[in-house]
């Protein structure tokens, strides 16, 4: 599992791990050193005590007493000094000896073929070792806790300028032309160099956005004049009495394409002027009014392809919406359904919270749905018409208006696009196999 942590968390974790390693090495070193020193001191102490006891002329007349935690035994000893069989097998020198559950340090000496054994109870040493181990363990955990607290404090101080820079970069006002530079707020260090790089990058981004805005606005504005000329010319040609039926059909087709392009230009211009913000209210119409207009315009070409066109109103209300944008969304969905349906039906259904456009067309494979969402990507490359911008524009409009557009594939072929006009916190909703897709 790939677990991602913030930069502050990673600094604290590294600081804590480093302190844990250092404290652990020191703790093990202290315990090992104390154990070794204790063993050496015990060896020297017991060796001196045994040498002192052996200096007595006769063991039987021995009047000296060992330490209170020591026991002395000899081969020729009697009574308390008599050596048991388990002690006779000990080899000369210092060693550990166990008698039942009790542990002893044993110092064995051999003089003139006779064995002498001095035992010292280990319970006092074990008690000191437990105390030492407890102290070291408490110190270890306190060191780790102190390291974590100190790491958090230091990380906060180190990360503060980085967090402030990240917050400033994320703020959308930084894309404005009048936004102040970032580098002036930071020292001449790595964070300052990063802020300077962000200033340069944001400057290039502001320039690119300005050029895009000017290009979109200028092109959309300049296209209005020739489109108006085309529309006017088509109206005049239709009034010409000598125009035959075939020519009249072609003129109507030109007029319809001109009206669609004019609507598209108006939508692009409106989106460009908002700079990604919410579009002004402008002209407003109810969903039913927009649907009635589009049904009247799209019924003839749909039925001309021998398709059944069904228009249903389940339940609608009188709420009004941005007319140009709603007309563009619904019109693009009907256009896509008409373009990719060769037999069967197309159905437009109005509901209280939005509408849906369903068709029995060629459908979209699940593996292509996300790619189809991108601009300039088309569903069927063999079809000559269209640039693949239809539902990409629908998605942009829905995002701007906080609407939701979803796509579900029908079991028997075709698609069903659903647009919810009720604002939601989530701009997009996609369920498998649903997704926002553009033919």
pLDDT value for 315: 73
**The last residue of a domain, from among 240, 259, 277:** 277
Q: What is the DSSP track for 379-395?
A: S-TTS-S--S-HHHHHH
H or E stretch at 242? none
Q: Given strand 308-313, what is the order of strands in its sheet?
A: 308-313, 345-350, 354-359, 415-420, 404-409
**The last residue of a domain, from among 277, 306, 336:** 277
Q: What is the domain range of residue 336?
A: 282-420
pLDDT tens sequence across 325-357: 888 899 989 988 898 898 999 999 998 889 999
Contacts of 410 (CB under 8 A, 6+ apart): 358, 360, 363, 416
Q: Is residue 429 part of a domain?
A: no
The one-digit pLDDT tens for each residue of the chain (439 residues) are: 455 667 777 778 887 888 888 888 888 888 888 888 888 888 888 888 888 777 765 555 554 556 677 888 877 766 777 788 778 878 888 888 888 788 888 888 888 778 888 888 888 888 888 888 888 888 888 888 888 888 888 777 777 777 777 777 776 565 566 667 777 777 777 777 887 887 788 778 777 777 777 777 677 667 777 888 888 888 888 888 888 888 888 888 888 778 777 777 777 776 666 655 555 555 788 899 999 989 988 998 899 999 999 999 877 777 888 888 888 899 989 988 898 898 999 999 998 889 999 999 888 777 776 666 565 556 555 444 555 667 778 888 888 888 998 888 888 888 888 999 876 444 333 333 333 333 3
pLDDT value for 436: 37
CATH number for the domain spanning 188: value is: 1.10.287
For residues 288 and 257, membership in a common domain is answered with: no
H or E stretch at 318? none
267: closest CA among 405, 176, 398, 439?
398
For residues 311 and 389, membership in a common domain is answered with: yes
DSSP, collapsed to helix, strand or coil, labels residue 159 as helix
For residues 226 and 287, membership in a common domain is answered with: no
H or E stretch at 341? none
pLDDT tens sequence across 137-172: 888 888 888 888 888 887 777 777 777 777 777 765
For residues 320 and 413, membership in a common domain is answered with: yes
430: closest CA among 381, 366, 346?
366
CATH number for the domain spanning 414: value is: 3.30.565.10
**Residue 65: C-alpha distances to residues 50, 61, 93, 404 (Å):** 11, 12, 21, 97
Number of domains in the chain: 3
Cis-peptide, bond into residue 433, ω within 30° of zero: yes
Q: How far apart are CA 391 and CA 308, in angstroms?
A: 23
Q: Is residue 157 part of a domain?
A: no
Q: How far apart are CA 381 and CA 394, in angstroms?
A: 20
Contact 15, 155 (CB under 8 A): yes
DSSP, collapsed to helix, strand or coil, labels residue 24 as helix
For residues 289 and 409, membership in a common domain is answered with: yes
Q: Is residue 36 part of a domain?
A: yes
Q: Is residue 164 part of a domain?
A: no
For residues 317 and 385, membership in a common domain is answered with: yes
For residues 199 and 303, membership in a common domain is answered with: no
Q: 3-state secondary structure string, 342-359?
A: CCCEEEEEECCCEEEEEE
Q: Is residue 148 part of a domain?
A: no
418: closest CA among 437, 390, 401, 392?
437
**The last residue of a domain, from among 260, 277, 294:** 277
Contacts of 59 (CB under 8 A, 6+ apart): 74, 76, 77, 81
Q: Is residue 425 part of a domain?
A: no
pLDDT value for 306: 92
Q: Is residue 60 part of a domain?
A: yes
Q: How far apart are CA 49 and CA 51, in angstroms?
A: 5
For residues 122 and 135, membership in a common domain is answered with: yes
For residues 51 and 100, membership in a common domain is answered with: yes
For residues 273 and 288, membership in a common domain is answered with: no
For residues 255 and 299, membership in a common domain is answered with: no
For residues 183 and 123, membership in a common domain is answered with: no
pLDDT value for 277: 55
Q: Is residue 161 part of a domain?
A: no
């Amino acid at each position: 599992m790939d677990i991602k942590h913030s930069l502050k968390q990673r600094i604290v974790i590294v600081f804590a791990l480093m302190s844990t390693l250092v404290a652990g090495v020191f703790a093990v070193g202290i315990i090992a050193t104390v154990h070794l020193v204790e063993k050496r001191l015990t060896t020297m102490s017991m060796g001196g005590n045994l040498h002192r006891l052996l200096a007595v002329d006769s063991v039987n007349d021995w009047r000296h007493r060992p330490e209170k935690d020591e026991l002395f035994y000899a081969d020729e000893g009697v009574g308390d000094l008599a050596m048991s069989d388990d002690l006779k097998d000990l080899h000369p020198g210092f060693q550990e000896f166990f008698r039942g559950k009790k542990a002893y340090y044993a110092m064995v000496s051999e003089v003139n073929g006779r064995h002498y054994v001095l035992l010292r109870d280990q319970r006092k040493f074990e008690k000191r070792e437990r105390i030492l181990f407890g102290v070291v363990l408490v110190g270890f955990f306190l060191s780790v806790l102190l390291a974590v607290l100190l790491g958090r404090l230091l990380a906060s101080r180190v990360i503060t300028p980085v967090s402030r820079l990240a917050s400033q970069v994320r703020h959308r006002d930084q894309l404005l032309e009048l936004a102040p530079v970032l580098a002036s707020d930071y020292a001449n260090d790595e964070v300052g160099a990063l802020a300077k790089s962000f200033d340069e990058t944001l400057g290039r981004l502001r320039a690119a956005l300005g050029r895009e805005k000017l290009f979109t606005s200028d092109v959309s504005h300049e296209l209005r004049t020739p489109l108006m000329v085309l529309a006017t010319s088509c109206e005049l040609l239709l009034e010409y009495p000598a125009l035959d039926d075939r020519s009249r059909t072609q003129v109507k087709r030109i007029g319809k394409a001109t009206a669609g392009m004019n609507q598209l230009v108006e939508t692009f211009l409106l989106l460009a002027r908002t700079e990604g913000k919410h579009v002004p209210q402008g002209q407003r119409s109810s969903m039913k009014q927009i649907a009635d207009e589009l049904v009247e315009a799209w019924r003839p070409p749909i039925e001309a392809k021998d398709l059944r066109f069904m228009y249903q109103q389940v339940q609608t209300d009188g709420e009004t919406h941005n007319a140009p944008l709603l007309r563009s969304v619904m019109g693009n969905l009907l256009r896509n359904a008409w373009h990719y349906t060769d037999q069967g039906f197309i159905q437009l259904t109005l509901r209280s919270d939005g509408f849906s456009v369903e068709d029995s067309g060629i459908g979209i494979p699940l593996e292509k749905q996300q790619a189809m969402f991108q601009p300039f990507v088309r569903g069927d490359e063999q079809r000559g018409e269209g640039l693949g911008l239809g539902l990409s524009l629908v998605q942009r409009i829905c995002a701007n208006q906080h609407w939701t557009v979803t796509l579900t594939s029908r079991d028997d072929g075709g698609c069903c696009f659903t647009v919810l006009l009720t604002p939601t916190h989530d701009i997009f909703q996609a369920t498998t196999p649903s997704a926002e897709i553009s033919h």
